Every structure is written in C-alpha cells, then in structure tokens.
C-alpha cells in the first residue's frame, strides 16, 4: 500500500507542475498578445492620419524612427509598448508604416503597407504584419 501512495503522490505532483507551467505560458502569451494589440492600434491611428494628411496636402510625410509628428499632430511617447514609428515610401502609390517595440517588446516590429487611395477606418480591414527579430545575444552574454 505504501508504494502505491508514493506513486500516486508523484503523479499528482507531476500534474500540478504541468498545470502551473501551462498557466504560466498561457498568461505570457496573453500578455504578448495584449501588447501587440496596442502596437496594431498605433499602426491603425498612424495609417488613418497618413491617409487624411495625404488627402489634404497631396503628399505623405516621411519619418524614420521618431516618436512625435508635428505635421499630423501625433505623439506616440505615451504608448508603453510601441513608442517609435517610421513612415516611408515603398513605390509611387504605396506607403509603409512600422512601429517598433520598447523595452520588453524591443524585438517586435509591427508593419502595415497601404495604398494612397485606401479608405481605412478599422484595423480589421488591413493586413498588419508582426515581425519578431532575433534578440541580441551579445546583450544576453554580458
């Protein structure tokens, strides 16, 4: 009887460990998804501001990794997960927007490509790419 009790206890402990690890991984994925949604919303806001600016002025404004735009006006410094963005031309009719992660999300870039004639009001209507770059191993070794 003693041997069966020990085996049952070990099986129970193994199940508890598996459940705790599963919960931890699920919560971590939830946090990342929530943070990425924040970046997608920022992309959508920049996209609508870019299209509006183009319709009013006949051209896009280009930015390379900035947090503030005075032309739109737009300020991404208050975004806790993605506070830097770039707006750049891809070809004559196509523009790109990228937002870059901060601190915990520094390896993430969210990118959207759009046409100047697009009428977009919601992030549901656009194809947003989430790009995860490789982490810098030189920082991890220090």
Q: So where are the chain's domains?
A: 2-137
| Partner residues linked to 129 by β-bridges | 111
State the pTM of this model.
0.71
141 three-state secondary structure: helix
Split at pLDDT 50, 70, 90, the class of 116 is: low
Split at pLDDT 50, 70, 90, the class of 122 is: low
- What average pLDDT is seen over the chain? 81
| Cβ atoms of 40 and 123 closer than 8 Å | yes
The pLDDT value recorded for residue 30 is 87
- Tell the CATH topology of 2-137: Glycoprotein, Type 4 Pilin (3.30.700)
Task: Encode pLDDT of 12-56 as tens digits.
Answer: 999 999 999 999 998 888 888 888 888 888 888 888 888 888 888
The answer for 119, left when phi > 0, alpha when psi is -120 to 50, beta otherwise, is beta
Exposed, middle or buried, 38 (CB in 10 Å: 0-12/13-18/19+)? middle
Spell out the residues 6+ positions from residue 56 whose beta carbon is closer than 8 angstroms to its own.
none
Task: Encode pLDDT of 73-105 as tens digits.
Answer: 888 888 888 888 999 988 877 888 899 888 777
The pLDDT value recorded for residue 33 is 83
CA dist 87 and 96 (Å) reads 6
Q: For residue 141, is pLDDT > 50?
A: no
């Amino acid at each position: 009887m003693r041997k069966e009790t020990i085996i049952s206890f070990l099986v129970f402990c193994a199940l508890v460990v598996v459940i705790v690890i599963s919960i931890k991984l699920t919560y971590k994925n939830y946090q990342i998804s929530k943070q990425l949604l924040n970046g997608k919303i920022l992309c959508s806001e920049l996209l609508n501001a870019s299209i509006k600016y183009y319709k009013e002025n006949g051209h896009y404004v280009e930015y390379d990794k900035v947090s503030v735009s005075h032309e739109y006006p737009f300020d991404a410094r208050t975004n806790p997960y993605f506070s830097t963005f770039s707006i750049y031309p891809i070809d004559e009719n196509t523009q790109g927007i990228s937002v870059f992660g901060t601190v915990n999300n520094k390896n993430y870039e969210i990118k959207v490509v759009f046409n100047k004639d697009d009428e977009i009001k919601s992030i549901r209507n656009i194809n947003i790419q989430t790009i995860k770059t490789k982490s810098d191993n030189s920082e991890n070794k220090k």
